[in-house]
A and B are shown apart, each in its own frame.
Chain A
């Protein structure tokens, strides 16, 4: 990909101070990576990575993944509207070794977790829900 010229940076409706970002990355690491999640991304609906946590053992192209995830989320949302649904509940994708789980944070962000067999889907969901509550509270501080 050509990184050698800069795109107009889109203005964001949200602002996060360095403090808040650090808190969020802390939550991602402690609540999710330390529970066995391989990688976790907090992205906005334009596919920008806000924060991430990583076990350091995987080298996935997380920037492409973020762009695809936001585009895909919007495509699914549009399909829902066409068939008369408000939205489809977010599902996860199960693979042999790696699975991906998506959760909305407010209506502005997506939390993407990539995990393997070390953690059960039930536990993952619980951990993700807890992390999201903590992330939300970072805004209201």
Chain B
């Protein structure tokens, strides 16, 4: 198999303006809708962009590493049984975590409390993802 190390540095490039746009979307669409913290990460666990309400000080780098691992493990389990599980969501007493894929390259990890309904959250996330995708065009 041909190796493509030469291109492995980043398959995607985002310039400063694009990153600013993405963080703006995260802030105006998600944080202002009541989400505590949102991370856009790549599948290797790197943080691409983030937004938060300033009230939570979770270890976001550890969260990004764990979230990408969690997603990859679930994805591999799905493959083993011949499926593609698209939805991943963890519900806690006070804090819940929602995962969404952006293409096959990125994950949007949203942390939210009880004050946000899951239905509204899903809607807002879907809207934000569409806007993020358009940043590439």
Contacts and interface: CB of A to CB of B under 8 A. Distances in A.
Contact of A85 (B63, B80, B83, B94): B94
A88 B81 contact: no
Contacts, number: 97
Nearest to B111: A83
A95 B81 contact: yes
Interface range for A: 20 to 34
Given A68-B76, A79-B97, A97 B90 contact: no
Contacts of A3: none
Given A75-B69, A76-B70, A89-B91, A95 B78 contact: yes
Interface range for B: 20 to 34
Interface string A86-126: 11110101111111100000000000001000000000000
Contacts of A61: 80
A1 B85 CA distance: 25
A19 B89 CA distance: 39
